[in-house]
């Protein structure tokens, strides 16, 4: 069992889009907080290779037909806009979901595709020095582009048809639910960051969950990689011990690689949901002992988790 990524494609499509350092105009700084103008100026030019690709089919779905003369000679990263979107303008630092179909530049054959079905691929953060930013610049959501990638030491030359689908919020967007009695209370600031207030009662001895917002996205499955925002406090004194909000950006991890109580809070939930979970030591970092000196050993932990995306694990 492993996580499907563009690295699973023979020409490393997703890796090329999500990692920095591809060829092109990449003179811009790598900061996700760069201005929109920086992202606009990061866009590479169209060229002979990318203009030679013909694409048919509806935006947001697998292309019906992608044709070009083979073998296609690709010397540098080029990008041609096939369909100009009319949605939100993309800014550096945004998380964007997209669909991608990858074709072998020598044969024209489809190599693989990902992102057209829910739960196939996590949203990616946009920056001027990463490939997505260089392919689309600040083009609005709804844009379809053809990008041509030259051969590298680790990947063959490829033709990529990419649909920019949606800017994903960085806080849960699901329908608010009535909080359960007896749980910690949660107040959100204007950005969605939570403040957690603990009740004047003993900590529970079992994992307790309460869904504060109910999302309408795909269900998180065991072994998925999830994109989340979270804040965690200690029941003993209410101290915040970890928070993606404080670090400034959502984070991702595999559900089976966190403490059992946190895993329970994620699996079976829907993307867009916000979950409150109380985790006793047995389901967290265990009881403190000479052999367990973790700073959170013996602590009951409280998390508020916003589930922003999930990428299902696949077997090969």
Whether residues 158 and 187 share a domain: the answer is no
Within a domain: 71:
yes
For residue range 66-91, what is the model confidence (pLDDT) as tens digits?
999 999 999 999 999 999 999 999 99
Domain end among 168, 186, 210:
168
Whether residues 210 and 87 share a domain: the answer is no
For residue 48, the enclosing domain spans 39-168
Phi, psi angles (nearest 5°) of residue 124 = -115, 145
Whether residues 93 and 192 share a domain: the answer is no
For residue range 117-131, what is the model confidence (pLDDT) as tens digits?
999 989 999 999 888
Domain end among 119, 144, 168:
168
127 close to 133: Cβ distance less than 8 angstroms: yes
1 close to 316: Cβ distance less than 8 angstroms: no
| Dist CA 160 CA 149 (whole Å) | 8
Whether residues 156 and 102 share a domain: the answer is yes
Whether residues 211 and 142 share a domain: the answer is no
For the ranges 18-22, 211-215, 237-241, the lowest mean pLDDT is seen at 18-22
Whether residues 284 and 212 share a domain: the answer is yes
Domain end among 137, 168, 199:
168
**What pTM, to 2 d.p., does this model score?**
0.89
List the one residue out of 113, 97, 216 whose CA is nearest residue 165. Answer: 97
């Amino acid at each position: 069992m492993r996580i499907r990524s563009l690295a699973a494609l023979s020409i490393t499509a997703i890796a090329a889009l999500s990692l920095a350092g591809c060829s092109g105009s990449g003179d811009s700084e790598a900061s996700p907080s760069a201005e929109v103008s920086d992202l606009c100026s990061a866009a590479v030019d169209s060229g002979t290779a990318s203009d030679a690709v013909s694409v048919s089919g509806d935006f947001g779905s697998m292309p019906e037909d992608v044709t070009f003369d083979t073998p296609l000679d690709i010397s540098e990263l080029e990008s041609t806009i096939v369909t100009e979107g009319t949605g939100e303008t993309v800014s550096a630092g945004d998380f964007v979901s997209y669909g991608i179909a990858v074709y072998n530049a020598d044969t024209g054959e489809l190599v693989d595709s990902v992102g057209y079905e829910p739960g196939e691929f996590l949203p990616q953060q946009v920056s001027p020095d990463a490939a997505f930013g260089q392919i689309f610049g600040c083009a609005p959501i709804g844009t379809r582009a053809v990008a041509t990638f030259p051969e590298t030491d680790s990947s063959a030359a490829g033709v990529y048809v990419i649909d920019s689908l949606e800017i994903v919020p960085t806080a849960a967007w699901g329908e608010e639910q009535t909080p359960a009695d007896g749980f910690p209370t949660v107040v959100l600031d204007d950005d969605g960051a939570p403040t957690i207030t603990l009740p004047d009662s003993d900590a529970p001895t079992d994992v307790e969950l309460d869904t504060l917002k109910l999302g309408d996205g795909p269900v998180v499955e065991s072994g998925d990689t999830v994109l989340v925002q979270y804040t965690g406090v200690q029941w003993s004194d209410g101290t915040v011990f970890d928070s993606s909000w404080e670090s400034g950006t959502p984070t991702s991890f595999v559900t089976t690689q966190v403490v059992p109580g946190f895993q329970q809070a994620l699996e079976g939930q829907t993307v867009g949901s916000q979950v409150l979970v109380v985790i006793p030591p047995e389901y967290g970092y265990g009881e403190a002992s000479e052999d367990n000196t973790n700073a959170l050993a013996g602590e009951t932990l409280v998390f508020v988790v916003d589930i922003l995306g999930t990428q299902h694990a696949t077997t090969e």
